[in-house]
Chains A and B, each alone.
Chain A
Amino acid sequence: MDFNDTPEEAVFRAEARKWLEANATPRAEGAAAPMRAGYARVEADALKRAREWQAKRAKAGYAKVTWPKEFGGMAGTPIQQVIYNQEEAKFDTQGGFFDIGLGMCIPTLMTYAKKDVLDRYVAPALRGEEIWCQLFSEPSAGSDVAGLKTRAVKDGDDWVINGQKVWTSGAHYSDFGILLTRTDPNVPKHKGLTMFYINMKDPAVTVKPIKQISGGANFNEVFFNDLRIPDSQRLGAVGDGWKVALTTLMHERLAVGGGAGGAGPDWKELLELARQTELEEGPAIKNNVVREKIADTYVRTQGLKYTTYRTMTALSRGQQPGPEASIGKLVSAPKLQDITGFGTDLQGAAGVIMDPTEAPMDAGFQQGYLASPGLRIAGGTDEIMRNIIAERVLGLPGDIRVDKDVAFKDAPTGR
Chain B
Amino acid sequence: MNFDFSDDQKALREQAARFLRDQCPPKAVRAILEGGDTYDRKLWKAVAEMGWMGTAIPEEFGGLGLGYLELCVIAEELGRVVAPIPFASSVYLATEALLVAGSAEQKQKYLPKLASGELIGTFASSEGPNAATPRSVKTTFRNGKLDGAKEPVADGSNADFAVVLAKTGDSGDRALSLVIVDLKAPGVSVEALRTFDPTRNQAKLSFAGAAAEALGAAGEGVALTRQILDRAAIMLAFEQVGGADSCLAMAKDYALNRYAFGRQIASYQAIKHKLADMYVNTELARSNAYYGAWALATGAAELPEAAAGARISATQAYDYASRENVQTHGGMGYTWELDCQLFYRRAKNDGLVLGPQRVWKEKLVSQLERKNAA
Contact = CB atoms under 8 A, between A and B. Distances in A.
B256 A306 contact: no
A1 B275 CA distance: 29
B255 interface: yes
Contacts of A391: 272
Given A307-B287, A309-B3, A396-B272, A299 B372 contact: no
Interface residues of B, number: 50
A307 B288 CA distance: 8
Interface in A385-404: 385-387, 389-391, 393-400
B173 interface: no
Interface string A304-320: 11110110111010000
A299 B276 contact: no
B279 A292 contact: no
B104 interface: no
A285 B263 CA distance: 51
Contacts of B182: none
Interface stretch (A122-130, A152-160, A200-208, A324-332): A324-332
A309 B283 contact: no
B285 interface: yes
A394 B316 contact: no
B293 interface: yes
A409 interface: no
Contact of B275 (A267, A299, A309, A396): A396
Contacts of A398: 267
A327 B269 contact: no
Contacts of A288: 362
B365 interface: yes
A9 B2 CA distance: 12
A18 interface: no
Contacts of B309: 298-299, 302-303
Contacts of A275: 374
B294 interface: yes
Given A299-B309, A316-B2, A294 B284 contact: no
B4 interface: yes
State the main secondary structure of chain A at its contact with B. Answer: helix
Interface in A226-272: 267-268, 271
A396 B1 contact: no
Nearest to B277: A386
Nearest to B362: A291
A144 B275 CA distance: 22
B276 A389 contact: yes
B44 to A, nearest CB: 29
Given A299-B312, A331-B280, A389-B280, A313 B2 contact: yes
A379 B252 CA distance: 27
B202 interface: no
A310 B284 contact: no
B266 interface: yes
B323 interface: no
Interface of A: 1-6, 9, 79, 267-268, 271, 275, 285, 288, 291-292, 294-296, 298-300, 302-307, 309-310, 312-314, 316, 324, 327, 330-331, 383, 385-387, 389-391, 393-400
Interface of B: 1-6, 69, 248, 252, 255-256, 263-264, 266-267, 269, 271-273, 275-277, 279-280, 283-285, 287-288, 290-291, 293-294, 297-298, 308-309, 312-313, 316, 358, 360-362, 364-365, 368-369, 372, 374
Given A6-B2, A400-B263, 10 more contacts: A296-B361, A302-B288, A306-B287, A306-B288, A312-B1, A313-B3, A324-B287, A331-B284, A383-B273, A399-B267
